[in-house]
C-alpha cells in the first residue's frame, strides 16, 4: 500500500509538470507568433518605405539635373546680357559721336554754301558790267583767258567744296542711321534677354519649390522607415524574450520529469528490498523522456534599406568650309525674318546657319545660344571658312579674311560684315 501511494504521488507530480509545461508552451507560442507577424508586417512596410525613398531620390536627382541645366542656361544668359550691355554702352557712345560729327558736317556745309552765295553775289549782283570790265581790261588775250579761267576756277572750287560737304553730310547721316538701327536691335535683344531671364527664374523657382516638396516627402519616408526599423527591433527583442522563456519553461519541465523519475526509482528500490524471501526480485526500471524541444534563435532582421590661345581642332566631316561659304553667299540680299528658316523668303541668324548647314547634311539647333555649345571650340586666330562666329544673341558663318556672312537684322537682311563688328563670344567648328 505504501508503494502504491508513492507511485501515485510520482505520477501526479509528472502529470502536473507536463500540464504546466504544455500550458506555458501554448502561451509562449501565441506571443511569439504575434511578434513574428508584427515583425513580418514591419519588414514589408520598411521595404515599401525604402522603395519610396529610392523613388524620391531618383526624382530628386533628375530634378537637380534639370535645375543645374537651367542654372547653367541662366548663367550663360547673364554673361550674354553683360556683353550686350557693354556693346550698348559702346553703341550709345558711338551714336553720340556720330551725332556731333553730323552736326559739324551740316555746319560746314552751311558755311560753304553761304560763302559760295556771297561770292556769287559779289561776282554777279554787283553788275555784269564790272565783271565784264575786269575781264575786258586785260591787256592781251593771255591775260584775258587767265582772268576768265580764274573766275571759273573760283566757281569750280566752291562747287567742289560744297559737293564734298554734301557727301560728308550724307555719309555721316547714313552712318548715324546705321548706328541707330543697330542700337535699336540691341535694345530689342536686351528686352528679349530680360524676358528669357524672367522665364528662367520662374522655372527655377518652380523647380526649387518642387525640390522642397521632394525634401519633405523624403523626410517623411525616412521617418516612416526609421519607425519600421524600431518596430522590427522591438519585435526581435520580444521574440528573443519569448524564446528565452520557452527554453526556461522547457528546462523546468525537464527538471520536474527528472525529479519524478528519480522519486519513482527510489520507491521501486525500497519496495524490492522489503520483499525478501519471495524469491522474485523485481528490478525497477526508469525511463526518462529524453525528448528535448529547443527553440531556434532568431537574429535581428532590419529588412532591406535603400541607397540613396591656340585651339585648332581637326575636322570631323568631309564637308568643305569654302563650299559652305559659297552656298551661304548665294542668299546675300534676302530678307531677315525673326524665327524664320527660309534662305529665300527670310530667316533669322540661327535659322540661316541651320538651313545652310542642313544643305550639307549637318543638323544644328535653331538657337544662337545653343550653337555656342555645338562642335568644338576654336580660337579666333585659327578660324577657318565654315566655322561659326558666336556673339551675344547672334551667330554668323566665317568666310575667311576677317569677314562673315549672316542674317544680320531686319534693316539689312542677309549680308556680309567684318567679323569683329561686335564682341566675339566664341568660335565653334562643326565641320
Backbone dihedral angles phi then psi of residue 169, each to the nearest 5 degrees: -60, -45
Q: How far is CA 232 from CA 35, 37, 47, 292, 371, in A?
A: 9, 10, 12, 29, 57
Q: Is the backbone of residue 185 left (phi > 0), alpha (psi -120 to 50) or beta?
A: alpha
Single out the residue of 5, 39, 20, 421 nearest to residue 249, CA to CA.
Answer: 20
What's the pLDDT at 336? 93
Contacts of 416 (CB under 8 A, 6+ apart): 329, 332, 399, 403, 404, 405, 406
Q: How far is CA 81 from CA 90, 187, 203, 303, 392, in A?
A: 14, 11, 19, 54, 7
Contacts of 90 (CB under 8 A, 6+ apart): none
Alpha-carbon span 211 to 288, nearest angstrom: 71
What's the pLDDT at 270? 55
The string of DSSP codes covering 31-78 is HHHHHHHHHHHHHHHHHHHHHHHHHHHHHHHHHHHHHHHHHHHHHHHH
Helix (H, G, I), strand (E, B) or coil at 379: coil
Count other C-beta atoms under 10 Å from residue 290's C-beta. 7
Instruction: Give the bridge partners for 406, in sequence order.
Output: 415
Cell digits for 198?
Answer: 524672367
Q: Express each pLDDT in 242-298 by its tens digit.
A: 778 878 888 888 888 887 777 777 666 555 544 444 444 443 333 333 333 333 333
Strands 346-347 and 413-418: unpaired
Alpha-carbon span 257 to 10, nearest angstrom: 10
CA angle centred on 223, ends 222 and 227, rounded to 5°: 115
Which domains are seen in the chain, by residue range?
2-269 (1.10.287), 321-429 (3.90.1720.10)
Instruction: Give the bridge partners for 347, in sequence order.
Output: 336, 341
What's the pLDDT at 278? 41
Alpha-carbon span 408 to 410, nearest angstrom: 7
Q: Hunting for cell 550639307 — which residue is that?
A: 360
Q: Is 333 exposed, middle or buried (0-12, 13-18, 19+ CB in 10 A)?
A: exposed
What's the pLDDT at 319? 92
Per-residue pLDDT of the chain (431 residues; tens, 9 = 90+): 445 554 555 555 555 555 454 555 555 566 667 777 777 777 787 777 778 878 877 887 887 888 788 777 777 777 777 777 788 788 888 888 888 887 887 787 777 777 666 766 665 555 444 455 555 554 555 554 555 565 667 667 767 777 877 787 788 788 888 878 887 887 878 787 788 788 778 878 887 787 787 787 777 777 777 777 787 777 777 777 777 887 888 888 888 888 777 777 766 655 554 444 444 444 333 333 333 333 333 333 333 333 334 678 888 888 999 999 999 999 999 999 988 999 999 999 999 999 999 999 999 999 888 898 899 999 888 899 999 999 888 999 999 988 999 999 888 899 999 888 888 888 999 99
Q: Express each pLDDT in 305-336 by its tens digit.
A: 333 346 788 888 889 999 999 999 999 999 99
Q: Hunting for cell 549782283 — which residue is that?
A: 125
Q: How far is CA 130 from CA 124, 125, 137, 151, 247, in A?
A: 9, 10, 10, 13, 150
Contacts of 128 (CB under 8 A, 6+ apart): none
What's the pLDDT at 332? 95
Q: Answer for the pair 366, 341: CB distance below 8 angstroms, yes or no.
A: yes
What's the pLDDT at 375? 92
Alpha-carbon span 3 to 271, nearest angstrom: 6
What's the pLDDT at 300? 37
What's the pLDDT at 28? 58
Helix (H, G, I), strand (E, B) or coil at 170: helix
What's the pLDDT at 254? 85
Amino acid at each position: 500500500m505504501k508503494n502504491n501511494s508513492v507511485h501515485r504521488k510520482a505520477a501526479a507530480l509528472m502529470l502536473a509538470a507536463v500540464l504546466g509545461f504544455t500550458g506555458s508552451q501554448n502561451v509562449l507560442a501565441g506571443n511569439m507568433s504575434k511578434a513574428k507577424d508584427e515583425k513580418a508586417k514591419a519588414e514589408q512596410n520598411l521595404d515599401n518605405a525604402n522603395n519610396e525613398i529610392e523613388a524620391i531620390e531618383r526624382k530628386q536627382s533628375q530634378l537637380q539635373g534639370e535645375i543645374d541645366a537651367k542654372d547653367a542656361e541662366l548663367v550663360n544668359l547673364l554673361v550674354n546680357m553683360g556683353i550686350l550691355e557693354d556693346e550698348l554702352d559702346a553703341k550709345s557712345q558711338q551714336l553720340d559721336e556720330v551725332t556731333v560729327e553730323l552736326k559739324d558736317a551740316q555746319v560746314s556745309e552751311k558755311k560753304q554754301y553761304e560763302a559760295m552765295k556771297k561770292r556769287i553775289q559779289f561776282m554777279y549782283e554787283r553788275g555784269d558790267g564790272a565783271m565784264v570790265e575786269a575781264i575786258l581790261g586785260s591787256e592781251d588775250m593771255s591775260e584775258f583767258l587767265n582772268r576768265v579761267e580764274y573766275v571759273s576756277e573760283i566757281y569750280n572750287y566752291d562747287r567742289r567744296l560744297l559737293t564734298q560737304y554734301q557727301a560728308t553730310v550724307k555719309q555721316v547721316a547714313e552712318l548715324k542711321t546705321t548706328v541707330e538701327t543697330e542700337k535699336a536691335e540691341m535694345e530689342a535683344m536686351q528686352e528679349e534677354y530680360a524676358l528669357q531671364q524672367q522665364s528662367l527664374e520662374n522655372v527655377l523657382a518652380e523647380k526649387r519649390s518642387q525640390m522642397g516638396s521632394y525634401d519633405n516627402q523624403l523626410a517623411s519616408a525616412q521617418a516612416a522607415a526609421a519607425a519600421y526599423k524600431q518596430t522590427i527591433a522591438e519585435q526581435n527583442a520580444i521574440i528573443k524574450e519569448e524564446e528565452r522563456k520557452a527554453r526556461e519553461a522547457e528546462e523546468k519541465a525537464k527538471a520536474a520529469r527528472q525529479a519524478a523519475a528519480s522519486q519513482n526509482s527510489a520507491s521501486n528500490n525500497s519496495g524490492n528490498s522489503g520483499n525478501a524471501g519471495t524469491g522474485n526480485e523485481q528490478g525497477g526500471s526508469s525511463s526518462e523522456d529524453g525528448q528535448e524541444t529547443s527553440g531556434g534563435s532568431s537574429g535581428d532582421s532590419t529588412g532591406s534599406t535603400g541607397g540613396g590661345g591656340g585651339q585648332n581642332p581637326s575636322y570631323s566631316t568631309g564637308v568643305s568650309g569654302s563650299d559652305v561659304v559659297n552656298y551661304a553667299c548665294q542668299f546675300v540680299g534676302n530678307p531677315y525674318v525673326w524665327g524664320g528658316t527660309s534662305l529665300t523668303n527670310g530667316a533669322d541668324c540661327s535659322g540661316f546657319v541651320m538651313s545652310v548647314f542642313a544643305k550639307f547634311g549637318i543638323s544644328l539647333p535653331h538657337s544662337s545660344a545653343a550653337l555656342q555649345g555645338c562642335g568644338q571650340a576654336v580660337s579666333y586666330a585659327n578660324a577657318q571658312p565654315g566655322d561659326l562666329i558666336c556673339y551675344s544673341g547672334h551667330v554668323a558663318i566665317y568666310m575667311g579674311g576677317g569677314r562673315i556672312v549672316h542674317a544680320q537684322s531686319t534693316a539689312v537682311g542677309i549680308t556680309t560684315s567684318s567679323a569683329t563688328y561686335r564682341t566675339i563670344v566664341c568660335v565653334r567648328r562643326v565641320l
